Amino acid sequence: MFVEFLSGLFPSMLGATGQAVLWAIMVLGVFITFRLLNIADLTVDGSFAFGGCICVLMIVKYNINPILALLTAGIAGLFAGAVTGIIHTVFDIPSILAGILTQISLWSVNLALVGVSNISLNKAPNVFTAVSKLLNMSGPNAGANANLIVGFIAAALIIGLLYWFFGTELGSALRATGNNEDMIRALGFDVNRGKLIALMLSNGLVGLSGGLVAQSQKYADINMGTGAIVIGLAAIVIGEVLLSRYINFAVKLTAAVFGTIVYFWIRAIVLRLGLNANYMRLVSAIIVFIALAVPVILERMRVRKSYHADI
């Protein structure tokens, strides 16, 4: 049994990595709101599926180029983030409740757009089949290899763009908003406008990720975003724990991608061990708990050790 486990481990890990880099785009979006604004934006669960449904719908129903369909998915995410931002900043509704309201609404919107619970790409073209044909990929790992190439290129481009943007005056103000909102407001920055921009940017990336995942799995489902925020939070914390010695902003963005890969590796190993897939949400919750608890425990141990050393 152990030999069988090892023989199938590499394909499982390769497939998990291929999926992880596509979900990592979503995690980068969650990083913007969770780490820069200190907001756990629950819009993510809805905007991920919204981007996926819009992307597949554009390809199947309107014969749109798959790359343009991905851009449409990103724009759909921007719109979802704008709705949450307006509810939060204009009407002073708490951010977590604003996200829940948008998330619930998007479920109905997705169902109205698609008409059924899921929509298939069938044999319609997508970016992954195009990459496979371009590079003459074949065999059982062709899909995973295409995912890796597209995902890593997309993640690298987005990390580069985010690093540039958050180095600008506006981006620096957004980063400062999460650290000390009162101070940045006193300096004359419109905090509400900043939050709106950040929520739009975050969910734009989430929608783009939803489009990539939908094209990869060749279908979109109105429930495909369920638990996305949990995956995002887990990946961010795991990446930070593993790369805690580095504080450069570019490394923090890279750590979010690395944390996503590790998270999907853990899931792949657990499934290879024979766990029922229906229990994966429980496993995900446990992973998030451990990832959040470990830094707290380590910090308490450090403080206690320092205290006893002083005595």
118: enclosing H helix or E strand: strand 118-120
The more confident residue out of 67 and 5 is 67
Once rounded to an integer, what is the mean pLDDT over residues 227-247?
83
**Is residue 208 over pLDDT 90?**
yes
Q: Which residues contact 154 (CB under 8 A, 6 or more apart)?
A: 21, 22, 25, 208, 212
The pLDDT confidence band at residue 71, using thresholds 50, 70 and 90, is: very high
Q: List the single range of 60-69, 71-80, 214-223, 300-309 with lowest mean pLDDT.
A: 300-309
For residue 188, the model assigns a pLDDT of 87
- Render pLDDT for 143-198 as a digit per residue (tens, 0 to 9): 888 999 999 999 999 999 999 999 999 999 998 888 888 888 888 889 999 999 99
Tally of CB atoms within 10 A around 123: 7
For residue 305, the model assigns a pLDDT of 83
CB of 61 closer than 8 Å to CB of 79: no
For residue 7, the model assigns a pLDDT of 56
Structure tokens at 251: 């490394």
CB of 41 closer than 8 Å to CB of 229: yes
- Render pLDDT for 100-149 as a digit per residue (tens, 0 to 9): 999 999 999 999 998 888 899 988 889 999 999 988 887 778 888 899 99
Residue 115's region, left for phi above 0, alpha for psi from -120 to 50, else beta, is left
For residue 310, the model assigns a pLDDT of 59
Distance CA 132, CA 229 (A): 30
- Render pLDDT for 261-301 as a digit per residue (tens, 0 to 9): 999 998 888 888 777 777 877 877 887 788 778 778 888 88
Closest Cα to residue 41, out of 224, 207, 240, 241?
207
Residue type, 267: R
Torsion of CA 287, 51, 96, 290, to 10 degrees: 10
CA–CA distances in Å: residue 211 to residues 54, 75, 95, 216:
8, 11, 25, 9
Q: Give the pTM.
A: 0.93
Instruction: Give residue for tokens 């141990």.
Output: 301
**3 state SS of 224:** coil
Instruction: Give residue for tokens 């998990």.
Output: 16
**Is residue 60 over pLDDT 70?**
yes
CB of 101 closer than 8 Å to CB of 87: yes
120: enclosing H helix or E strand: strand 118-120
Q: List the single range of 52-61, 226-235, 285-294 with lowest mean pLDDT.
A: 285-294
For residue 259, the model assigns a pLDDT of 93
